[in-house]
Amino acid sequence: MKKHNTILARIGFLAVVVIIVLGTSIYGQGTLKEAKKLMDDGQYRLSEAVFQALVQKDSQKADIWYWWGVCRVKQGYQDDEMFLKALGLKPKLSESIAPLYRQEAQVFLKTSQTDTARGLFDKAIEWDKDLRLEVAQYLYDSGHYELAVRYDSRYADKIADILYEKGEEVSGEASLSFYRKAVNYSSKYFEAIKAKLLAVSKTKFEEQDIQYWRNAASEFGSIPPNFKIYEPGTYTFSLKAGEKTDHWIMFPYGVLINYGISSSDFNYKLLYDDGYVVKDGKDVVYPNKTTDKFKIIAITDQPKITMKVIQGRFGSMAEK
């Protein structure tokens, strides 16, 4: 198979050589007009063969060198060799080189050949620094934001505003893409995005969904812990049916804690971090765990759930 591929590669190379040789032969007595026609038809190799034959015949014609340079730019090349030869013979041609690079950069950009387009825009600005702001404006208006900022950093805030607003217009995971792009251009939305994503996490019920949105929020700055440590004392919670505390309930490390939870109808559950679920009640026995970490889930509306925390024998339940 390797030998077969090698043979094909050699055939391909020979084919290219034949095309160039034939082009030189056929158009050896060709004209600049014929070379430009081949270029306009996209026959760049044949066109270059004619240009080469022409300069070999007469290397003192600026227009031949210039149009040979044009032919190479249309292929995405960014070398100035042909143009410099042309300018040595006809300096006034320099006025058309920057616009040419810019024009061809836009052509490559429209076909999503961004790297080539960027290189050609760079060359345009190298030839005419006054084009920088015009290029940036064009790229901004056409939605090529990353390139626009490359040539004028003042667009960064405007682009961040646009992307942030797009994130606001959609919901769920679709917003994340816009938010992530927005902060690449400006830091002014970090706190607002983080707050929004934390708020989304609090609307979720499944732990994996909660953690997903908390992780997303953490991309935009430090976030508060998802647990709260309760010192000895009395605490109340108010939850609607189906709601649960938006944080894990924990107790001081290394302290023997005795806690009890109650409501008027005990119609709630305790969800431990290992997935263990306890339906509370007057005679319930809490699981004996090395470390208590749980959330309270309301089965029906619970306007007042009371939790008493006192120091005591570890694992026992306070009288309710």
The CATH number for 66's domain is 1.25.40
pLDDT of res. 25: 45
Of the residues 89, 112, 141, the one at which a domain ends:
141
- The number of folded domains in the chain is 3
Q: What is the rounded CA–CA span in Å between residue 22 and residue 133? A: 45
Q: What is the rounded CA–CA span in Å between residue 102 and residue 319? A: 81
Q: What is the rounded CA–CA span in Å between residue 275 and residue 265? A: 24
Q: Is position 3 within any domain? A: no
State the DSSP code for 223.
-
159 and 132 in a common domain: no
Of the residues 113, 141, 169, the one at which a domain ends:
141
Degrees to nearest 5, angle at CA 208 with 214 and 221: 10
pTM of the model: 0.70
233 and 207 in a common domain: no
| Residues 46-56: b if buried by 16+ CB within 10 A, e if exposed | bbbbbbbbbbe
Beta bridge partners, 249, equal 228, 294
Number of H helices, E strands in the chain: 13, 8
107 and 159 in a common domain: no
Q: Residue 200 is part of which domain span? A: 155-218
Q: Is position 184 within any domain? A: yes
Q: Which two tokens stand for residue 237?
A: 């919670």
Q: What rounded mean pLDDT belongs to the chain?
A: 88
237 and 198 in a common domain: no
Mean pLDDT by groups of 10 residues along the chain of 320 residues: 46 43 50 96 96 96 97 96 96 96 97 97 97 97 96 96 96 94 96 96 91 96 94 96 93 85 92 86 62 89 94 49
